[in-house]
């Protein structure tokens, strides 16, 4: 077995990851419009007309549902919440297994745990640090419910 880079072994990654810019002029204009409105989400955590969010949130959900040709699209406050929703939406039950990457934010592992499922780590490819297809195949069992795939650097 080779030495870890931290212990003097050869580094796997020789160059820095490239910058990943997600925000362009169109996004900045939309954000500015929302800020000027003074209504960021209008979510209210109780049964009320604002329980489903404000007009921008509802418009986004409607547009996404139409784009993906699905009955519902739900906006959430974070990718962690989205993972929790997705794992629940597939009907995850206790002791189901969900294959995940060991090289990602902890939410990938905690999402299955919220439903008493078992996160199963598959290895990553050294060149991109994303899940290795062969490692995934080796981890699939009759208890595998899902695979959470992370594009680690976009």
Which percentage of the chain shows pLDDT scores above 90?
57
pTM: 0.71
pLDDT tens by residue, 114-137: 999 999 999 999 888 899 999 999
- Of 8-12, 13-17, 30-34, 148-152, the range with the lowest mean pLDDT is 13-17
CA distances in angstroms from 117 to 12, 21, 54, 80, 124, listed in the order given: 32, 35, 34, 16, 21
| Residue of higher predicted confidence among 2 and 70 | 70
pLDDT value for 1: 54
């Amino acid at each position: 077995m080779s030495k870890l880079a931290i212990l003097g072994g050869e580094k796997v990654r020789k160059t820095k990851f490239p910058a990943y810019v997600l925000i362009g002029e169109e996004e900045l204009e939309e954000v500015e419009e929302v800020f000027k409105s003074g209504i960021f989400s209008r979510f209210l955590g109780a049964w009320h007309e604002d329980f489903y969010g404000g007009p921008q949130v509802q418009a986004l959900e409607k547009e996404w549902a139409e784009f993906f040709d699905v009955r519902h699209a739900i906006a959430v406050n974070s990718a962690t919440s989205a993972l929790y929703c997705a794992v629940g939406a597939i009907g995850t039950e206790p002791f189901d297994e969900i294959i995940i990457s060991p090289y990602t934010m902890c939410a990938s592992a905690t999402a299955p745990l919220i439903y008493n499922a078992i996160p199963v780590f598959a290895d990553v490819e050294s060149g991109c640090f994303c899940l290795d297809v062969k490692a995934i195949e080796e981890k699939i069992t009759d208890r595998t419910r899902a695979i959470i795939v992370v594009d680690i650097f976009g």
